[in-house]
Amino acid sequence: MAIRNVRKLGDEILRKKSRPVEEIDSKIITLLEDMADTMYYTQGVGLAAPQVGILKRIAVIDVGDGLIELINPEIIETSGEQTDKEGCLSVPGKYGLVSRPYKVTVRATDRDGNLFEMTGEGLLARAFCHEIEHLDGYLFVDKVTEYVEVDD
CB of 52 or CB of 88, closer to Zn ion? 88
Q: How far is the CB of 47 from Zn ion (least distance, A)?
A: 7
In the bound state with Zn ion, the residue whose beta carbon lies nearer, of 107 and 143, is: 143
Cβ closest to Zn ion, residue 103 vs residue 134 = 134
For residues 77 and 105, the answer to whether their CB atoms sit within 8 Å is: yes
Catalytic residue among 33, 131, 133, 146: 131
Cα 71 off chain centre by: 11
CA neighbours within 13 Å on the CB side: how many for 33? 9
Q: Closest residue (Cβ) to Zn ion? A: 88
Strands 95-100 and 103-109: unpaired
Q: How far is CA 95 from the centre of its chain?
A: 16
Least spacing, CB of residue 113 vs Zn ion, in Å: 26
Taking residues 78 to 97 in sequence order and writing x for each that binds Zn ion by CB under 5 A, - otherwise, the string is ----------x---------
Q: Report how far residue 81's alpha carbon sits from residue 114's, in angstroms, rounded to the nearest whole number.
A: 30
Shortest reach from residue 86's CB to Zn ion, in Å: 8
Between 39 and 71, name the residue whose CB sits nearer to Zn ion.
39
> How many residues bind Zn ion, per CB under 5 A?
1
Shortest reach from residue 48's CB to Zn ion, in Å: 6
Distance CA 124, CA 137 (A): 20
Please state, in angstroms and rounded to a whole number, the distance separating the CA atoms of residues 94 and 49: 21
Residue 77 falls in the annotated catalytic set: no
- Give the number of other CB atoms < 10 A from CB of residue 90: 24
| Catalytically annotated residues | 131
| Residues forming the site for Zn ion (CB under 5 A) | 88
